[in-house]
Amino acid sequence: MILLLRLLLILHFLSVIAFTYLGIRSEQNSISLLMNINIYDFFYLCFYLLSLVLLFILNSYGKIFFTLLVIEGVVASFSSPERIITLADLFIFLTYFEGILDGAILVIIYLTPLKKLFKSVKGFL
C-alpha cells in the first residue's frame, strides 16, 4: 500500500508538471506569464511540494497540507473563470486525471490501514 501511495504521488507530480507545461505553452507570451507569477502561486507551489514530500515520508502534516490544498483547489476551480485552451483534449484529460489522483491519494491516506502509519497530530485531521 505504501508503494501504491508513493507511485500515485509521483504520478501526481508528473501530471502537475505536464499540466503546467501545457498551460504555459498555450499562452501567447510565455516570458510575460513567467514574470507575472504572484506570491500566491509561489506559496501554493511551496505548500504543494512540501505536502508531497511529507506524504512520501508518511508524515501526518503531509495529510493536513494535501487535504487543505485539494480543498483550496476545488474552491479556486469553482470561483475562477474558465480558461480557453487550444490544446483542449490533453489539457482536459490532465485536469480530470489530476482530480482522480487527488481522490485516490485522499482515500489511501484516510480510509485504508495505511492511515495508522502516519504519526498522530492531536487536534488535527
Domain boundaries of the chain, sorted by first residue: 2-117
How confident is the model over 48-98, as pLDDT tens digits?
999 999 999 988 899 999 999 999 888 887 887 766 555 557 777 888 888
How confident is the model over 7-22, as pLDDT tens digits?
999 999 998 888 777 7
Round to whole Å and give the CA distance between 52 and 62.
7
Q: Could you tell me the three cell numbers for 40? A: 500566491
pLDDT value of residue 19: 77
Round to whole Å and give the CA distance between 8 and 2.
10
pLDDT value of residue 9: 93
Round to whole Å and give the CA distance between 86 and 91.
9
Round to whole Å and give the CA distance between 5 and 52.
11
Mean pLDDT value of segment 100-105: 93
pLDDT for 40 beyond 80: no
